Amino acid sequence: MFSTLLGALPRPSDGPGDVLASLASTGLELLSTGEPPAGADQPPASVVAAWQAAAGATDRPVKQVLAGPYTAGRDGAPSRPTQLAENLQATVLALAEAGCPFVEVDESAAEAIAVVLGERRRFVEAHRRLLDGVAGTHVSLALTGANLDGAGAATFFDLPYASYAFDLIAGPDNWRLIAAAPQDRGIVCGALDPRPNGDETRELLIWAAHYAASTNGRGSIRVGLANAPSLAPLDWPVALRKLGRIAEAVRIASVESPEEMARLLDPRAFGGRRDRPGRVRFASPPEE
């Protein structure tokens, strides 16, 4: 189980190196710069150079986020997302060759695919083109901003992505997609409310991580926990607090001893749920 962030961050006055250092200080394990996603119009070499600069500024792994071809091509001609995907494919291949361990493709405005068959086909065609021939790095699809379960599980899981990030705040019905995800696919739960006064209950985050791990016998090794994007409107200290909450939840969720986990959780957060994370199951008393 690991912690990461989704979407953009507010921009402090410090440089990128200091941003990454601040993120690492929260305990996050997989970092990004929090800059807007790199677009298909950016030369692959410049995207690789920016990732290398970020990766060299921290000892934590750093992912590169790319703008998804469907979201970026919504206002173009019908073939536009596929053309963008071809450009992005070259960038993904260049990142893989440079040693980037994790590439995230950000589709933040794909809600039309849940209701329009033609849009769904455009989405699938673009992503198949993007991933064709790609190897050597972990490529993840981030789906945020809406409920997308209406598109059907096959729309996403027939694509050869290694993992998927789902926004569970703007799209709570995306849990249906997580439950249908094949066992070998990773799941990142965007489960922390991005609003300034939004819910930050760590027990809820821990429950989300454990539930995702339980689906199809996935296991915790294929589960990540993140914020629901975007944190950009927040003050920098508030954004860091929220990300620290995610990292804290992952540390507790990763505890192997049920007794230790139960000690770290507030049982009032789960009411009388028998399936709450870390619940200690006592043996029945012997019959008299």
CATH of the domain at 97: 3.20.20.210
Residue 257: is it exposed, middle or buried by C-beta count within 10 angstroms (0-12/13-18/19+)?
A: exposed
Question: Is position 6 within any domain?
Answer: yes
pLDDT value of residue 74: 75
Q: How far is it, in rounded angstroms, from Cα 144 to Cα 39?
A: 17
Quote the tokens at residue 139: 């490529």
User: Is 40 within 8 Å of 262 (Cβ atoms)?
Assistant: no
* Of residues 92, 107, 279, the one with CA closest to residue 190: 107
Strands 102-107, 138-143: pairing kind: parallel
Q: What is the pLDDT of residue 89?
A: 97
- Residue pair 29/254 in contact (Cβ under 8 Å)? The answer is no
User: Whole domain around residue 28: which residue ranges?
Assistant: 2-254
DSSP class of residue 74?
Answer: T
Q: Which residues pair with 4 in a beta bridge?
A: 30
Based on DSSP, count helices (H) and strands (E) in the chain, helices before strands: 10, 7
pTM, entire model: 0.89
Burial class (CB in 10 A: 0-12, 13-18, 19+), 214: middle
pLDDT in tens, the chain (288 residues): 999 999 999 987 555 568 999 999 999 999 999 999 999 999 999 999 999 999 999 999 999 999 999 999 876 555 589 999 999 999 999 999 999 999 999 999 999 999 999 999 999 999 999 999 999 999 999 999 999 999 999 999 999 999 999 999 999 999 999 999 999 999 999 999 999 999 999 999 999 999 999 999 999 999 999 999 999 999 999 999 999 999 999 999 998 777 777 776 766 655 544 555 555 333 333 343
Q: Is residue 287 part of a domain?
A: no
DSSP string, 189-240: EEEE--STT----HHHHHHHHHHHHHGGG--GGGEEEEEPS--TTS-HHHHH
The answer to the question of residue 272 being in a domain is: no
- pLDDT of amino acid 77: 53
Q: Report the pLDDT value the prediction gives residue 75, as an integer from 0 to 100.
A: 60
Residues in the chain: 288
Q: Is residue 179 part of a domain?
A: yes
> Does residue 64 lie in a domain region?
yes
Instruction: Report if residue 15 sits inside a domain.
Output: yes
Distance CA(172)–CA(175), nearest Å, equals: 6
Give the H or E element holding residue 250. helix 236-253
Q: Which amino acid is at 239?
A: A
Please count the structural domains in the chain. 1
Give the pLDDT of residue 166.
98
Whether residue 268 is contained in a domain is answered as: no
Nearest to 205 by CA among 187, 190, 185: 190
**Does residue 275 fall inside a structural domain?**
no
Residue in 242, 221, 222 with CA at minimum distance from that of residue 232: 242
At 110 the pLDDT is: 96
At residue 286, the pLDDT reads: 38
